[in-house]
């Protein structure tokens, strides 16, 4: 879900004219383990949830069903073709 978060900010952003379609965006840093499983690195993340999310049915009762999380990545590639990450918020 979220590993050792350091919250930076949150914003409610309207999605169209219907206030029920608004989204809440959370900006935070997260301490994640690298692929080797030995080193923890801090990554800048963004998460989104609908404020009217009441959860799902059966095993999803009282659990968010609209939660999304992603790492912040710049769309401009470095000269060597690697992605640029926003690791400092």
pLDDT digits (tens, 9 = 90+) for 66-82: 899 999 888 777 788 77
Where does the pLDDT of residue 65 fall: very low under 50, low under 70, confident under 90, or very high at 90 and above?
A: confident
Determine how many CB atoms are found less than 10 A away from the CB of residue 47.
Answer: 19
Mean pLDDT of 54-65: 82
Q: Where are the domains of the chain?
A: 5-85
Rounded CA gap, 57 and 2, in Å? 23
Rounded CA gap, 54 and 43, in Å? 29
Q: What is the pLDDT of residues 1-53, one digit of tens each?
A: 788 899 999 999 998 888 888 999 999 999 887 777 777 888 899 999 998 88
Rounded CA gap, 50 and 23, in Å? 5
């Amino acid at each position: 879900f979220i590993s050792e978060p350091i919250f930076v900010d949150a914003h409610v952003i309207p999605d169209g004219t219907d206030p029920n379609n608004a989204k809440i965006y959370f900006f935070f840093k997260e301490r994640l383990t690298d692929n080797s499983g030995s080193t923890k690195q801090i990554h800048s993340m963004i998460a989104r949830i609908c404020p009217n999310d009441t959860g799902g049915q059966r095993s999803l009762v009282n659990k968010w069903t609209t939660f999304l999380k992603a790492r912040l990545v710049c769309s401009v590639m470095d000269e060597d073709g690697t992605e640029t990450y926003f690791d400092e918020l």
